[in-house]
Structure 1
């Protein structure tokens, strides 16, 4: 991970905040992986549509990422250049891939939560409120231009191939926007359902379905084409239209959607990544509510 230069000294409170931030990021990833009834996605009781992944692999992956989010938080606090943040992410990706025998479990999370963690570091540096709005604003004002216009894209990645073939934007554009989808769709949905139910599982499932209904998920398009994207978006909208998790029999309703995803080997990985960002934002706000 990124190391401090010999002449750099950070006050203990900043180091402690970065350590807490790292724990929150890992907890958010584990909470997302632990959530049951996610269509096509790995959870403790199912591999979903993934033949090469299971819950224990995700646990190993998160273990391998410990310390990465702290490093990116300190990078943001120190206001390092864009390339240093990128290289820190590359090192974390290599460590993750080594721990998972080259299976991509958290590449999206490394990218998404890496920049979110760096943004938290910037908030700590200028004593901004540690909330979703500040994190979003810091990402946009600091890295949007470099993300959209200077970040080297791998033309062979699934996301970039879908971008070239269908014009679908993906993770880079979402991060560059300061996680606009999380801010506009996911966080309001989670807060609304949790306020009504006081149930984190129901709030998270409703949020995931709201994301599936809204996001042009390149993971879905890669596996099933545009037609699959339109079908699963419609399935999610229908579920939400019936009340979603506020239905008495919502688990049975979700099970039908789960069956469709598995039968067609579809996985809403992009939506799952954004659910992880949502859970991270909520944890940061709760943990640091008395900051400043």
Structure 2
């Protein structure tokens, strides 16, 4: 009888985690959808513009997000099952192949597959250990379980833009952001998002304010690749000036953002690293406010 009860409990637990992983997958992809659907992002793809990109547009991003269906739920489950680092990596590679197939080899979401994937796995670890599901605990799980592997085991492509910028200028990129538990998101982006949301009651306003805050602070390798360190300093200063003037709380902020966008597109600059971290911020906010995860 005890064996039957154990089997029933196991089946119930698997059904529940299955339900949660489906939710996680939807929340992760909706965070990416919300990020790309946000208008007025300097240099980035929006519904109405390709930004500084000639090889991708809004429709392509939607195809890419659709192609990733199931991946974030899988990574959450892998975290819950405490699968190996290599298994997480392999799942990421397979998802990347699906994404590239859907976009005809245009890299729309490589960063999101990596960083949101580990965030989902960290969330799975939280569920396994029955910890409150929030940004701090998810990030802590990433540090405890995968930091060393991320920093030491992960093969870095020396030809990637990020690694070339790391070698040339010593600036860290996506791997370090994930390995150290999304510190800039926890310390800067999430508090900014929440305080702006409280002030404006608008997720779009909060997202723009957060994006500009990230641009003002992040050593974005995408910017440096396209324009060098001087471009990074210029755009950080522009973003900081926008924020100092009140950001989205000032009158005519859309006009000021349009002028900034003009500079980005004229100089072919795209703050892709900041956009990736906005996606993580939106995911964490959704998880903390929308996820129903009673195991």
Specify the TM-score bucket, using the shorter chain as the normaliser: over 0.9
- Pairing of 1:1-292 with structure 2 (within 5 A): 11-288=14-291, 291=294
TM-score, with length taken from structure 2? 0.95
Deviations 1:40-83 (A, max 9, x none): 00000000000111000000000000000011011001001101
Q: Is the CA contact 2:23–2:291 (under 8 Å) kept in the aligned structure 1?
A: no
2:7 alignment partner in structure 1: none
Displacement of 1:175 after TM fit? 0.1
- Structure-2 change in CA distance of 1:99 and 1:40 (3 Å): same
Q: Which runs of 5+ in 2 are unaligned?
A: 1-9
TM-superposed CA distance for 1:151, in Å, is 1.1
Gaps of 5+ in 1: 1-7
Deviation at 1:288, TM superposition (A): 2.8
Count, aligned residues: 285
Q: Is the 8 A contact 1:33 1:58 kept in 2?
A: yes
The whole-number CA distance in structure 2 between the counterparts of 1:70 and 1:98 is 20
2:147, 2:294 → 1: CA distance? 26
Q: Distance in 2 between matches of 1:248 and 1:235?
A: 17
Question: What's the CA shift string for 1:122-176, capped at 9, x where partnerless?
Answer: 1111111111111111111111111111211111111000000110100000000
- In the TM superposition, residue 290 of structure 1 has moved relative to its aligned partner by 6.8
* Poorly superposed stretches of 4+, deviation over 4 Å: 289-292
Measured in 1, the distance between the counterparts of 2:76 and 2:150 equals 18
